[in-house]
Amino acid sequence: MDALRVIVPTAVVIDLYCASTMVAAPKILNIPVYYFVTSGACVFATILHFPTLDRQNQGSFKDMNKSFTCQLKEITKGLELSGHRFLWVIRSQPTIKKEELFVPPDVLDSNTLLPDGFLERTKHRGIVVNKWAQQVAVLNHKSVGGFVTHCGWNSVLEATCFGVPMVAWPLYAEQKINRIVMVEDMKLALPMDEIEGGKVAAAEIEKRIRQLMESEEGNFVREVVKASKEDAARAMSDGGSSCVALAKLVECWDVMRRL
């Protein structure tokens, strides 16, 4: 907050789900906020309709954590049955209370949150992290052979750039459409299928982990992601399509600013 006051920005451009910035910038600092949406127009239209959906439905995407504990039990069981090594990051859910927006979230106690004996039984092949983890550094590590992702586009891009095959487990908003693109169009991921109520069963988690790490389907996805990693490197190199497109965008902003 103090840093923003010092530099006196004329506007803030944010990702759609930076909830604290959405509230603080216009109301506290009187700075205009512009939303940056990486998905298509159809997704943007759905997002704009969210406030109406929230008023009409008792359970919206903000209330998804009601089944948090139950889902944790299914994840622990699935990870244990899969037999594979894992790194699992469990973080406190972001608050929607205005007075707590800038308060660091509580660190979860893994010993009380997870089923009895899970940490002890998996201590030689699994690590549970109960706070923020350096996702880019993790995905870039040579020992990482797969990534279960909620399909946020930044995470998808990071995994692709490092050649890590994915299991797509969307939770809300554009993530569900991203999964269709990842699984059906780009072939970068295997799907995680839900049961009634939006929960994913332990058997499905075990199945998809084994499929990604052991099967021909997993090997196919791995080869596709490896090729996409090379494409991404070319796009971000000097003269690559991403660099050229970004330069054109900045040039366009500069022209508009001078008008």
Of 227 and 98, the structure prediction assigns the larger pLDDT to: 227
The pLDDT, as a whole number, for residue 258 is 78
> Mean pLDDT: which of 40-44, 62-66, 105-109, 248-252 is highest?
248-252
Contact 126, 87 (CB under 8 A): yes
The pLDDT, as a whole number, for residue 130 is 85
Interatomic CA distance for residues 51 and 143, integer angstroms: 42
**Tens digits of residue pLDDT in 126-180:** 999 887 788 999 999 999 999 999 999 999 999 999 999 999 999 887 899 999 9
Interatomic CA distance for residues 103 and 92, integer angstroms: 12
Where in the chain are the domains?
64-229
Burial of residue 61, with CB atoms counted within 10 A of its CB: 0-12 exposed, 13-18 middle, 19 or more buried: middle
Contact 129, 90 (CB under 8 A): yes
Is the pLDDT at 61 greater than 70? The verdict is no
**Tens digits of residue pLDDT in 185-211:** 999 999 999 987 788 999 999 999 999
Question: Would you state the structure tokens that stand for residue 113, as one six-digit string?
Answer: 């949150």
> Measuring CA to CA, which residue among 167, 249, 175, 171 is closest to residue 211?
167
Interatomic CA distance for residues 231 and 223, integer angstroms: 13
CATH no. for 64-229: 3.40.50.2000
Query: Between the CA of residue 208 and those of 192, 205, 241, 253, what are the distances in Å?
Result: 7, 5, 34, 44
Give the helix/strand (H/E) hosting 42. helix 41-48
